[in-house]
Amino acid sequence: MCFFTGFSPIFYWLLIYQAVDDRDPGHYKIGAMLLDLDDPTQVLYRTNNPILEPGEAYENEGFKAGVAYPCGAVVISDTLFVYYGAADSVVAVATANIKHFLAELIHNQTVRLDPARIEKVM
């Protein structure tokens, strides 16, 4: 498996990344990990499964089908917004309640983002 980070960690060293699995090499999926505040080289928690993977039509139809890669994230109030590219053709955003997201990440490493809306790039 190969990991790629698209932007700096946010909110208590939450790192959102893209990964390519050897068993599914044509698809980029998005995962999350929480790094140690004092030593960010240490991974405290990591999702067992993707928090977002190409499943929607706009993520599977375009220049590079089956690709989702994070471009940026922000927490506003209690909502985590993760902006990502899909199929190298659209920019999308997926959301989650940050408190629920972190609790699920810490306790059972299974958490998902909810796709919110898309905007055509070209």
Q: If residue 60 lies in a helix (H) or strand (E), which one and from where to where?
A: helix 57-60
Cα–Cα dist 108/94, whole Å: 21
Report the predicted TM-score, pTM, of the whole model to 2 decimal places: 0.84
118 band by pLDDT with thresholds 50, 70 and 90: low
What are the structural domains of the chain?
Answer: 2-120 (2.115.10.20)
* CB 69 within 8 Å of CB 63: no
Who's near 100: CB < 8 A, 6+ residues apart?
Answer: 111
Q: Quote the pLDDT of residue 46.
A: 92
- 64-101 pLDDT, tens digit per residue, is 888 899 999 999 999 999 999 988 888 899 999 999 99
- 14-53 pLDDT, tens digit per residue, is 999 998 877 877 888 999 999 999 998 999 999 888 999 8
